[in-house]
Structure 1
Amino acid sequence: MRVFKFGGASVKDAESVKNVGEIIREYSQDDLIVVVSAMGKTTNALEQIMQLYAKQDKSALENQIFDLKNFHFTIINELFEKQNLPVFDKVNNLFQTLSNYCSTNFVGDYDFHYDQIISLGEILSTTIIAEYLKSQSFNATWLDARKTVRTDNRWREGRVNWEVTEVLIQTAVEKAIKNETNIIITQGFLGHTPKGETTTLGREGSDFTASIFAYCLDANDVTIWKDVPGMLNADPKYFDNTELLEKISFREAIELAYFGASVIHPKTIQPLKRKRIPLHIKSFIHPSEQGSVIQESIEYDDHIPSFIFKLDQVLVSLTPKDFSFIVEENLEHIFAYLNQQKIRINLMQNSAVSFSFIVDQSRINLEALVAYFQDDYAVKYNQGLELVTIRHYDEPTINRVTVGKKIILEQRSRQTARLVIG
């Protein structure tokens, strides 16, 4: 059993779907679980629909649903020649379900409704792709992840019940294989509560779904198909002359994900590590190229330094007004506020009389933070900074990213250098 995952960019239009079909054809002798995201920017469009539904803006809501329906039917019309194929009715019914849902009055928990609406993106994409593969004589079937991935009822970031999920996935896949199906198309990002209500696993959670299925089925490997040649040592948007990381360990991948590398979802690696299931990252544009593999051995981790850039950072420093030492009581007070406000710290450092931390500008309300702490602390902050993390650094690599810039804060360990620069 092998697990493939295709993201939204790989199924953004009809030609992209055909390309996915050609990739699957190369592996069609294997038993495959194919996890698929929503097509193109569908999730963004559904988020706009969700916002309009919450506002009860019926006119704009109808227009947005109409545009999204046209987007999907444009793809369908280019993939299928006959108008009486089941896919047309299936997709029509899904959009009718969306329209009916949004025609009801908005009552209750925003996040609950979010999951019910946003989940339709993956249902649409997998419905279309499963029907397309069948039309191309693939031995394919559609599997509903909303009935196989069991979570709690934490909307928008459901936590997986691994024991129940393993039974549900194994049972569903065994049934499909008994029916002589070897290609199973299912949705990334989706789950369900014990009551059967739809949940989502958090944005970019489709990678996580692939690792869930792999873990539960003891898969041979997982391949995530992306629009990059593999896992690079830096984001090419910010860094020239990037290098391919052909082979790194699970541990290294977790470190890179923790520091902000965007190629792999942070939750994806852990289930694979537990069962030592290799994770391949390959290009759907050049599928014959080798790509990268994440596996158990640490032998290759330090061969190439990796760079992770976080822009638009804010450095906040808190100093007790009575110049008392920063002790556990102060830290408890500070962390309680940050946790309450869901502010994720990217880097922190303390001295005897001050505590400093770096956060994303978009995640913090500085005016509210100052108002909260100003009675007890002198609050200072610097905006518009950049946080650079270098794994397996040396002085030349540090010099490479700091030329002409001021280092405001610096931390180094044996393997990692972290620099706040402005």
Structure 2
Amino acid sequence: MHVLKFGGSSVANASNIKRVAAIVDTIAKNDMAIVVVSALGGITDLLLQSGKQAAAGSEVYKDYIATIEQRHFEAVKELIPVASQSALLSLVKKTINEIEDVCSGIFLLSEVTPKNLDRLAAYGEWLSSQLIAAAFKQEGVQTQWKDAREFIFTNSDFTNAEVNIAATEKGIRKYFKENKSNVFVVPGFIAADSNGVTTTLGRGGSDYTAALIAAALDANSLQVWKDVSGMMTADPRVAPNAKVIERISYSEAMELSHFGAKVLYPPTIQPVMAKNIPLHIKNTFAPEMPGTVVGGAMKTQETIREHIVSGISSISNIALLSLEGSGMIGIPGFSKRLFEALSKERISVVLITQSSSEHSICVAIDQKYLTVAKKAVDKAFADEITLGKVEPLKEETQLSIVALVGEQMKSLPGVSGRMFGALGRNGINIRAIAQGSSEKNISAVIATDDVRKAINVLHEEFFETVYKQLNLFIVGVGNVGAKLMEQLKQQHAFLKQHMKLNVSVIGISNSKKMLFKEFGISLSGWKELLAAGEPASLPDFVQEVLHRNLRNTIFVDITANTEVAKVYGKLLQRSISVVACNKIAAASPFPEYKKLKELAHIHNARLLFETNVGAALPVIGTLNDLRRSGDEVRSIKAVLSGTLNFVFNNYDGTRKFADVVKQAQEEGYTEPDPRMDLGGVDVMRKILILAREAGFEMDMEDIVNNSFMPASCMQGSVAEFYKCMEAEEAHFKKLLTAAEAENSKLKFVASFENGKASVGLQHIKPGDDLYHLYGKDNVVLFYTARYTEQPLVIKGAGAGADVTASGVFADIMRAANA
């Protein structure tokens, strides 16, 4: 004997009911099947709304009833041949008339009671079960229909009645002993009290009806048929990578269903667990799928799963109540009084945590009971509050509980650490924690806005053995940014295969347009998509990053924009790592620079700007490694401008200086405004950044700039800048001639020593470490406590879109692996 329960989506319409009939027929050929059904999908809500609208004096309730009638008439006409429809259509019409009478009475009284709501709600299952039984018979299946109210008995707690187990088991056994059929059809959810008045078992109670029948009859199995292929490791609507759990224990299933997993109504498990009856969760629309098996005869080796965690679940609309006060310390009975106050108001406590000092106790409840709860608790402790021994009840709202469930967590060290570490790295603040003595559940109270992110973070931590998801938001997709997009496309498969990273670009922006795609922007057609995007707005872009609140988020700045640099702090505060090609933040006034570093540290985020100095050269990374290993930087000598090195390596007097600078700009070596390079400001920023990373407090005003540019050329527009350089060609040729006279090359050098820094044009002789520096190359010489006589030298290409993009890419990888 097997008990099968089909939910509302499984019997939502005629075509679905035909699927159900096929499933039942297959089972009934070999064994008896008891089929418990829900109302047609959405009907229960319509019935309850019709009652509430009638009570509110709104005649809209008549429209709801008309919809209910139409849905059932359509189902009858599709399921039953015309010649056999009459009796069933009459039954539907008679039932609709009863619903109208009930709602008419509610409308006249302007009042709806829980008793009336139960009476209304019961019609949904009653009607659907009649239709389904008739459809089975039409398919030639020997079928009997039975009203569950004749053997499931409850108290009179309407809308959520408590079952009288002894009387119910007796009634079930008696009926099925006295009646024989291949298939029985029973409406779920409904029952009767001792006076024969209709009650209901709470939303989802059809599962419970089936479990009660299975347990009373010692069925071979209970099968709960849904529109999903089993119990999942997380809600697939929240975590797209959620997987079906093949087998799970009764206690794990109870924990997951209690903490928000909608697949099972929590009370369902208890009856079958007591009889060790396996519970199968199956998909009506994919019956060939194995689904999930809950409990049953599980062998030891079958309980050992690949993952120590079985699943992740959550409950929303949670409020935290905190009772605190020095008068609670060492005084027994405070907890008892708190729970009694809540119990009297029939408020269930979802989670409890208490400080070891006994100074405070915190409980989580459904937020809808918050006002009643606060009033009750403040009243219970009125005397202590007046005397100042206890503070008035504190309340926090807009919270949710995320729960990690698994029997294999028991006595296994490190699970909590992994859970809280993963949440912390993603900036998810935990308001309260609870772990049951069974060690099968670790629960954390977090902000509701963080639930989606938290579930994905935890799912990735405990279930994603294949890939880690990385979400990028990129501002600045011009020359360097386009190269980065190209490199991300080129390396996508490599990162998946070798680094187990799935990199998605979720948002991009240039100065005119911005674009967002929830599951990633195409790295092939992004330019066309961006061109059709929405108007660019930096505040809106940042708000979108914060609102999406995705795990493992990295904000990438490939601009030279001051306003973009100003948003780093807001992002870091939300534990969003920042990768900056933009030098403005790292070269900002020292307090601002220090604040950003502190925010990154406090909020477990990375602030990386390797490309600020030397493009992709490992200059800042090496400097940091030196300091972390205990070395001390004493002086720095460097050529830090690929642009200026390119210019002076190519300027030989045969071409105008302005033409060489223009070539450098066209080849992508200069800043958007070449004066930043030629005037030395860019190099000043770079040596400032190196000095700060070496541990020195310094600002731009502290750096001496020995500029070689005529002051007149630094005014006006970029076009005027080029005209001025052409007019000043004699000045530049004089600089070149002076260097050649000393058998030297011109190099724009940055120096730092004894806490002082300077930049300027120098004559470099053949024996100098800076002499053999060609093209757009940079070189940095670190003299340290360990590298005294011979410096540590870092040398290579220091400009160009490709190498700069690769440096940004490398920082993204560092942030991803933090």
Equivalent residue for 1:51? Answer: 52
In the alignment, structure 1 segments of 5+ residues that lack a partner are none
**1-structure distance, mates of 2:366, 2:195:** 37
Equivalent residue for 1:386? Answer: 400
Which secondary structure state, in structure 1, belongs to the residue aligned with residue 4 of structure 2? strand
Query: 1:164: how far off?
Result: 2.5
In the alignment, structure 2 segments of 5+ residues that lack a partner are 410-414, 448-818
Equivalent residue for 2:39? Answer: 38
Worse-superposed segment, 73-82 or 363-372: 363-372
**2-structure distance, mates of 1:89, 1:119:** 19
Q: Quick check: 1:340 aligned with 2:344?
A: yes
Q: How is 1:131-142 mapped onto 2 (pairs within 5 angstroms)?
A: 131-142=134-145
Query: 1:262: how far off?
Result: 2.4
**2-structure distance, mates of 1:106, 1:281:** 43
Equivalent residue for 1:377? Answer: 391
Amino acid paired to 1:248: I
Equivalent residue for 2:443? Answer: 418
**2-structure distance, mates of 1:46, 1:245:** 35
Which secondary structure state, in structure 2, belongs to the residue aligned with residue 165 of structure 1? helix
Amino acid paired to 1:162: I
Residues 134, 327 of structure 1: CA spacing in aligned structure 2 closer, same or farther, 3 A cutoff? farther
**1-structure distance, mates of 2:51, 2:215:** 33
Equivalent residue for 1:118? Answer: 121
Q: Quick check: 1:164 aligned with 2:167?
A: yes
**1-structure distance, mates of 2:230, 2:284:** 10
Equivalent residue for 2:133? Answer: 130
Query: 1:31: how far off?
Result: 0.5
1:325 pairs with one of 307, 324, 329: 329
**2-structure distance, mates of 1:385, 1:100:** 42
**2-structure distance, mates of 1:206, 1:327:** 46
2:316 pairs with one of 311, 315, 320: 311
Worse-superposed segment, 291-300 or 261-270: 291-300
Which secondary structure state, in structure 2, belongs to the residue aligned with residue 348 of structure 1? strand
Residues 302, 401 of structure 1: CA spacing in aligned structure 2 closer, same or farther, 3 A cutoff? farther
**1-structure distance, mates of 2:264, 2:299:** 18
Residues 215, 107 of structure 1: CA spacing in aligned structure 2 closer, same or farther, 3 A cutoff? farther
Residues 380, 195 of structure 1: CA spacing in aligned structure 2 closer, same or farther, 3 A cutoff? closer
**2-structure distance, mates of 1:359, 1:192:** 30
Q: How is 1:2-401 mapped onto 2 (pairs within 5 angstroms)?
A: 2-29=2-29, 30-55=31-56, 57=58, 59-82=59-82, 84-85=84-85, 86-104=87-105, 106=109, 110-177=113-180, 181-296=181-296, 297=298, 299=300, 300-301=302-303, 303=305, 304=307, 305=309, 306-320=311-325, 323-325=327-329, 327-351=331-355, 352-365=358-371, 368=375, 372=379, 375=386, 376-392=390-406, 394=415, 395-401=417-423
**What is the Cα-based RMSD across aligned positions, in Å?**
2.5
**2-structure distance, mates of 1:63, 1:420:** 42
Worse-superposed segment, 266-275 or 45-54: 45-54
Amino acid paired to 1:158: A
Query: 1:378: how far off?
Result: 3.5
Instruction: State whether residues 318 and 380 of structure 1, in contact with CA within 8 Å, keep that contact through their aligned partners in structure 2.
Output: yes
Amino acid paired to 1:405: I
Which secondary structure state, in structure 2, belongs to the residue aligned with residue 120 of structure 1? helix
Query: 1:371: how far off?
Result: 6.2
Query: 1:330: how far off?
Result: 2.2
Amino acid paired to 1:35: V
**Count of matched residue positions in the alignment of Structure 1 and Structure 2:** 417
Which secondary structure state, in structure 1, belongs to the residue aligned with residue 266 of structure 2? coil
**2-structure distance, mates of 1:415, 1:298:** 19
Q: Determine which structure has more spread, i.e. the larger CA radius of gyration.
A: 2
Instruction: State whether residues 343 and 364 of structure 1, in contact with CA within 8 Å, keep that contact through their aligned partners in structure 2.
Output: no
Residues 328, 109 of structure 1: CA spacing in aligned structure 2 closer, same or farther, 3 A cutoff? farther
Amino acid paired to 1:309: S
C-alpha distance after superposition, 1:339-387 (max 9, x if no partner): 2333322211122211112223333227746865665524333332332
Amino acid paired to 2:166: E
Worse-superposed segment, 393-402 or 91-100: 393-402
Query: 1:257: how far off?
Result: 2.9
**Percent sequence identity over matched residues?**
30
Amino acid paired to 2:81: E
Residues 161, 14 of structure 1: CA spacing in aligned structure 2 closer, same or farther, 3 A cutoff? same
Instruction: State whether residues 326 and 354 of structure 1, in contact with CA within 8 Å, keep that contact through their aligned partners in structure 2.
Output: no
Worse-superposed segment, 83-92 or 44-53: 83-92
**1-structure distance, mates of 2:13, 2:221:** 27
**2-structure distance, mates of 1:79, 1:244:** 33
C-alpha distance after superposition, 1:313-333 (max 9, x if no partner): 32222213x544274432233
Query: 1:165: how far off?
Result: 2.1
Instruction: State whether residues 56 and 106 of structure 1, in contact with CA within 8 Å, keep that contact through their aligned partners in structure 2.
Output: no
Query: 1:401: how far off?
Result: 4.4
Instruction: State whether residues 37 and 206 of structure 1, in contact with CA within 8 Å, keep that contact through their aligned partners in structure 2.
Output: yes
Instruction: State whether residues 176 and 182 of structure 1, in contact with CA within 8 Å, keep that contact through their aligned partners in structure 2.
Output: no
Which secondary structure state, in structure 1, belongs to the residue aligned with residue 341 of structure 2? helix
Which secondary structure state, in structure 1, belongs to the residue aligned with residue 363 of structure 2? strand
Instruction: State whether residues 31 and 182 of structure 1, in contact with CA within 8 Å, keep that contact through their aligned partners in structure 2.
Output: yes
**1-structure distance, mates of 2:197, 2:432:** 47
Instruction: State whether residues 378 and 393 of structure 2, in contact with CA within 8 Å, keep that contact through their aligned partners in structure 1.
Output: no
Instruction: State whether residues 91 and 127 of structure 1, in contact with CA within 8 Å, keep that contact through their aligned partners in structure 2.
Output: no
Which secondary structure state, in structure 1, belongs to the residue aligned with residue 289 of structure 2? coil
C-alpha distance after superposition, 1:159-180 (max 9, x if no partner): 2223322232223223431xxx
**2-structure distance, mates of 1:50, 1:83:** 35
Higher RCO structure (Cα 8 Å, ≥6 apart): 1
Equivalent residue for 2:473? Answer: none
Instruction: State whether residues 55 and 111 of structure 2, in contact with CA within 8 Å, keep that contact through their aligned partners in structure 1.
Output: no
Residues 88, 302 of structure 1: CA spacing in aligned structure 2 closer, same or farther, 3 A cutoff? same
Query: 1:33: how far off?
Result: 0.4
Residues 63, 408 of structure 1: CA spacing in aligned structure 2 closer, same or farther, 3 A cutoff? closer
Which secondary structure state, in structure 1, belongs to the residue aligned with residue 223 of structure 2? strand
Residues 32, 335 of structure 1: CA spacing in aligned structure 2 closer, same or farther, 3 A cutoff? same
C-alpha distance after superposition, 1:121-143 (max 9, x if no partner): 10010011111111111111211
Which secondary structure state, in structure 1, belongs to the residue aligned with residue 294 of structure 2? strand
Query: 1:198: how far off?
Result: 1.2
Query: 1:43: how far off?
Result: 0.8
Q: Quick check: 1:406 aligned with 2:429?
A: yes
Residues 298, 242 of structure 1: CA spacing in aligned structure 2 closer, same or farther, 3 A cutoff? farther
Residues 20, 401 of structure 1: CA spacing in aligned structure 2 closer, same or farther, 3 A cutoff? farther
Query: 1:337: how far off?
Result: 2.6
**2-structure distance, mates of 1:147, 1:97:** 20
